[in-house]
Structure 1
Amino acid sequence: MPEAATDDLAIALTYYSPYVSGLTNMARDIAEGLAARGRTVTVVTSHFDSGLPLEEEINGVRVLRAPVLARVGRGVVSPQLVALGRRTLGRARVASLQLPMLEAGAIAAGLRTPLVSTYHCDVTLPPGLVNDVQRIVVDASNRLAMRRSVAVAVTSEDYAQHSRMWSSIQPSMHVVAPPCPAPPPGRPNYRETDGPHIGFLGRIVREKGLEHLVRAFRAVPDPDARLLLGGDYAHVAGGSVVSQVRAAMGDDPRIRLLGFVPEERIGDFYASLDVFTLPSVNAFEAFGIVQAVAMLAGVPVLSSDIPGVRQPVVQTGFGTLVPPGDEPAITRALQDLYTNPPDRTRGIARAQRAFSVANVLDAYEVLLDKAVSPRER
């Protein structure tokens, strides 16, 4: 007889909480949401921070971390992650891989547990021989994992169709939006004036297009306007572009580089804004959860018109889209969203229907239950 499953769901991914990114936050919210619904969930990840324990429980989710031998760009080299992943996922009722992931193919190969993969985004790296080899290897690994998956979840068909992995995604694609918890009510403690307050929240990295946002904001003539840039730049896989952002800021006294915004102040951050921005410049960004969270907080969004990233604005109408990197267009849109904001009540309602955590967890439970092998039904 087959060995009894030890978990309802086991998830493997490169980085997990307390690391902060859209991918890790989505995996965390799904894991913790399903655990809160009574499912046993284990996460296997890398021991990317030596100050963290190798094993712990976080909000009902068991987290196992495999030692890291080296770091390559945004990724890590962890042979033990493969062994730990195969062992843990092999004992679960359903397995999940969060892609892109270097080790995905090795974990998936020969895995008897039904596998549901979530493909978040393509790996996008600067030109160069090492980066080109890394991208080719990761893509090949992800293709193998998706071929062995009974389902491949994506956050939007829009992004998936434009992905270089489309041929591997399409045969078993299921569209499930990321869970977007509304921020807690906050006080506008980040406001300094009565002028427009523009915000960004996320990692300070190349693909976010922050230099374009900064230069576009500097063309806004209002001396009472403020640009609040929140996000980690000290502990970012692959390195941050904070020096380039500072150079773009120049001597403009209206711009604030806030650094990491702790969870307990997220509500205050959104409550301080008139417009939220996500000025991404390439397809590494597949959705942009932070902009959906801003909408749930009642803040209209300026976003780049690129596959996936444009979907929250397209689905809700609560914001505007601009061509990526078009600084004059960003300047005009910032001023228009402040002076002629879309209807806030309608925007919040549409965002709640599209991105609520409960609706997304319902969809994932259906997907995971369908994946269970016939011998368990």
Structure 2
Amino acid sequence: MKIAHIVCTFPPYNGGMGNVVFSLASELINQGEEVTVFTPDYFESSEMKDTGAEPEKIHTESINNNLDFVNRLRPALQYGNAAYLPQIAEELNQFDIVHLHYPFFGVANLVRKWKLRNPHKKLVVTYHMDTRGPGWKGLFFKYYGYFWLPKILESADCLLATSLDYLKVSLASVHYQKHPEKWQELPLGVDSQKFQPHEKNDILVQSLGLDNNFPTILFVGGMDEAHYFKGVPVLLKALYLLKQNNFVCQVVLVGEGNLKAEFKLLTKSLGLENQIIFADNVDNENLPYFYNLADLFVLPSTTAGEAYGLVLLEAMSSGVPVIASDLPGVRKVAELGGKVVPASNAELLAQSIQAYFSLSNNEKENLKKEVRQIVEVDYSWSIITQKLRQIYQQLVVKT
């Protein structure tokens, strides 16, 4: 089959949706399919720098040399991760399956119009998450979700959700209630070969100034305005409470963005400078080494802007138990490999962290083995991609 994937971000930009599509496309190719990924060819501009949600210094020449299945289209208009790509319609006619990853403002409606002109073509839409934001952005997202989202979903032949738990409380829930037969659950996967349990890298331990005598907690997530919901302040406040309770641990925070300076100021005001390490400019290739540093992974997201938590699977694949917020979608992943706590509750988060480290060494070792096994059996990208291929094949047969 000839398959097109359409996504608003793609590596080397650090964004969950782009990483998902990279993994899916790579595995589809490994399994014998012909795949092209369409994504914007972002370029730096003053408009991008003003959004607080811009891609992080992409160098497309080097990445294009390595990924010949990626077609980067220059936007006619662009704002943050939204882009208007009028040329995309003429590119799609050659494919058996067109797979849109939503949200993608500026392109999703173009794909809908293309489908209306080509009703015999097969369109798959993965609904990754609602879009939320402060001020005028929030108003725009509400308008778009009310007016355009139903039309986009209606145009699809097949609709996928990473979690039905999340879907049922999302903006797409209205469509799901009317047309449940069009929806299927396809969870995200993880590269279980890339993310494996290994001993800590001594050089990395030394460079970060970690002390192996104290437990290490890891957080991985965006620190820009687009990822305001990641909950870093909640984690910092929980660590402050632990310190007040004479429980000392060290925390490595991995992520970039324009809120990072604010988080550093909060760290200082809470007197946690000696416990918190902000790791700078960690690329995807080095990320597995950071998971191997961790005794526990925490994802303290505060809103349903966090729809799944792919980093939870990466941690579990690395043999690291997790604690995450009790949010739709996120909790279904976290419950597999750890514990959920109410969102934005620093006190209960602190209690859960201390409770985990109060377990015996045998209990912790058994939990580490269990979370790794869960990923290997059900969540490797090869298994998820096989399920996706079956969905594609069923659509093509219906032609």
Counterpart of 1:338 (choices 354, 357, 364) is: 357
Deviation at 1:353, TM superposition (A): 2.1
The 1:9–1:152 alpha-carbon spacing in structure 2 relative to 1, beyond 3 Å, is: same
Would you say how many aligned residue pairs link Structure 1 and Structure 2? Answer: 355
Cα distance between partner residues in 2 of 1:176 and 1:214: 33
Aligned partners of 2:100 and 2:126 also within 8 Å: yes
Partner SS for 1:220: helix
- TM-score normalised by length of structure 2: 0.83
Deviations 1:261-288 (A, max 9, x none): 2233222211111110111111111110
Tell me the distance in 2 between the aligned counterparts of 1:372 and 1:64.
26
Compute the displacement of 1:144 (Å). 1.9
CA deviations on 1:23-70 (whole Å, 9 max, x unpaired) are: 111111111111122211111111223542599364452322222534
Change (3 A) 1:55 1:241: closer
Pick from 37, 40, 45 the counterpart of residue 34 of structure 2.
40
Aligned to 2:127: 119
Q: Distance in 1 between matches of 2:348 and 2:33?
A: 47
CA contact (8 A) 2:82 2:104 kept: no
Name the amino acid aligned to 1:356. S
- C-alpha change, 1:256 and 1:76, in structure 2 (3 Å) is same
- Deviation of the 1:134 alpha carbon: 4.1
1:362 is the counterpart of 2:386: yes
Partner secondary structure for residue 136 of structure 1: helix
Does the Cα contact within 8 Å between 1:96 and 1:118 map onto a contact in 2?
yes
Q: Which residue of 2 aligns with 1:197?
A: 216
* Partner residue, 2:5: 11
Amino acid at match of 1:197: T
Residue 266 of structure 2 aligns to a residue whose secondary structure is: helix
Judge conservation of contact 1:276–1:294 (CA < 8 Å) in 2.
Answer: yes
Superposed CA RMSD: 2.2
Preserved CA contact (<8 Å) 1:194 1:224: no
| 1:329-355 deviation per Cα after TM superposition (whole angstroms, max 9, x unaligned) | 111111111222362222221232231
Which consecutive unaligned segments of at least 5 residues does structure 2 have? Answer: 45-58
In the alignment, which residue of structure 2 is the partner of 1:232? Answer: 256
Aligned to 2:75: 67
Going from structure 1 to structure 2, the CA distance change for 1:17 and 1:138 (only over 3 Å counts) comes to: farther
Corresponding position: 1:97 with 2:100: yes
- Out of 299-308 and 98-107, give the one that drifted further: 98-107
CA contact (8 A) 1:100 1:123 kept: yes
The alpha carbon displacement at 1:359 in A equals: 1.1
Contact 1:68 1:76 in 2 (8 A): no
Residue 174 (structure 2) pairs with residue 167 (structure 1): yes
Which structure has greater helix proportion? 2
Residue identity over aligned pairs, in percent, reads: 22
Quote how far apart the aligned CAs of 1:19 are. 1.2
Correspondence 1:244 to 2:248 = no
After TM superposition, the score normalised by the length of structure 1 is 0.87
The equivalences for 1:185-224 within 5 A come to 186-188=198-200, 189-190=204-205, 191-204=210-223, 205-221=227-243
**Structure 2 SS opposite 1:303:** strand
How far residue 139 of structure 1 moved from its aligned partner, in angstroms, is 5.4
| Contact 2:197 2:319 (C-alpha < 8 Å) held by counterparts | no
Question: Which residue does 1:236 correspond to in 2?
Answer: none
- C-alpha offsets along residues 224-244 of structure 1, whole Å, 9 cap, x if unaligned? 5101000122xxxxxx42233
Q: Say if 2:271 is the partner of 1:264.
A: no
Distance 2:198 2:73 in 1: 34
**Alignment pair present for 1:150 and 2:150:** no
Q: Unaligned stretches of 5+ in structure 1?
A: 1-6, 234-239
Secondary structure of the residue aligned to 2:39 is: strand
- Corresponding residue for residue 298 of structure 2: 277
What corresponds to 1:76 in structure 2? 82
